[in-house]
Structure 1
Amino acid sequence: MLKPLKRLYSACLCSLVALGLLTVSSTLWAETILITGEIEDGNAQSVEMPRLPGSYSRTIEWMAPEGEEVQPGDEIVRLDPGDLESQLEQAEVNIESQITAAESQEAAHELTIFDAITRLISSESSLENTRLDAMVPEDTVPELTHDRNRLALANAIHDLEIAIRNLEEAYAARDRDRPMAERDLLNAQNEKTRIENALKHTNFLAEQSGIIIYAENRLTGLKIFPGESYGSGTTLLIVASREDLQFRFWVHEADIRKISIGDEVIVSPDAAGDAKVKTKVTWMSNQAASRSDWSSAGYYEIVTEPLDPIPEVYIPGMSILGVIKNEEVSNQVD
Structure 2
Amino acid sequence: MRYLVTSLLLSLCVVTANAETLMLSGEVAAENSQVFVAPEAESWMVQIAWMIEEGEKVKEGDPVVQYDTASIAASLEQLEASLRKVEAESRRNDLVQDLSLLEAKNTLQVADLMLQKAQLDANIPRELLSQLQYEQYQLALTRAQNAKQEAEKALQVKQQDVAAEKQRNQVEIAGAENELERVQVMLDSMTQHADRAGTAMYVEHPWTRQKVREGDSVQRGFSVLEIPSTDQLQVKAWLNEVDVARLHEGQRVSIAFDARPGVSLGGVVERIGRQAEPKQHWGDSAYLNVDIQFSDPLQVDLLPGMSVRIAVEGVQ
Q: Please give the residue correspondences for 1:126-141 in structure 2 after superposition, counting only pairs within 5 Å.
A: 126-141=114-129
* SS of corresponding position for 1:216: coil
* SS of corresponding position for 2:226: strand
Distance in 1, Cα, partners of 2:86 & 2:135: 56
CA distance 1:35–1:15, change in 2 (3 Å) = closer
Matched, 1:124 2:109: no
* SS of corresponding position for 2:285: strand
CA distance 1:273–1:254, change in 2 (3 Å) = farther
Matched, 1:108 2:86: no
8 A contact 1:218–1:289 mirrored in 2:
no
CA distance 1:253–1:280, change in 2 (3 Å) = same
Distance in 2, Cα, partners of 1:16 & 1:232: 69
Q: Please give the residue correspondences for 1:24-173 in structure 2 after superposition, counting only pairs within 5 Å.
A: 24-27=13-16, 29-50=18-39, 52-81=40-69, 83-173=71-161
Unaligned runs of 5+ in 2: none
Structure 1 residue 177 displacement after superposition: 2.5
Structure number with larger C-alpha Rg: 1
CA RMSD in angstroms comes to: 2.6
Residue range with higher mean Cα deviation, 223-232 or 302-311: 223-232
Structure 1 residue 278 displacement after superposition: 0.5
Residue range with higher mean Cα deviation, 20-29 or 83-92: 20-29
- Per-residue CA shift, 1:96-117, capped at 9, x if unaligned? 2321232122112211111112
Amino acid at match of 1:297: S
Q: Give the equivalent residue in structure 1 for 2:178.
A: 190
Amino acid at match of 2:165: D
Distance in 2, Cα, partners of 1:220 & 1:257: 31
Q: Give the equivalent residue in structure 2 for 1:300.
A: 288
Structure 1 residue 322 displacement after superposition: 1.6
* SS of corresponding position for 1:59: strand
Q: Give the equivalent residue in structure 1 for 2:240.
A: 252
Distance in 2, Cα, partners of 1:296 & 1:122: 91
Structure 1 residue 307 displacement after superposition: 0.4
Q: TM-score under structure 1 normalisation? A: 0.84
Residue range with higher mean Cα deviation, 220-229 or 114-123: 220-229
Distance in 2, Cα, partners of 1:68 & 1:250: 28
Structure 1 residue 53 displacement after superposition: 4.7
Amino acid at match of 2:246: K
CA distance 1:218–1:302, change in 2 (3 Å) = farther
Give the number of aligned pairs.
Answer: 315
- Per-residue CA shift, 1:119-161, capped at 9, x if unaligned? 1222222222222222233232322222222211211111111
Q: Give the equivalent residue in structure 1 for 2:262.
A: 274
Unaligned runs of 5+ in 1: 1-11, 329-334
Distance in 1, Cα, partners of 2:195 & 2:266: 31
8 A contact 2:41–2:220 mirrored in 1:
no
- Per-residue CA shift, 1:290-332, capped at 9, x if unaligned? 443444433332121110111233222222222121434xxxx
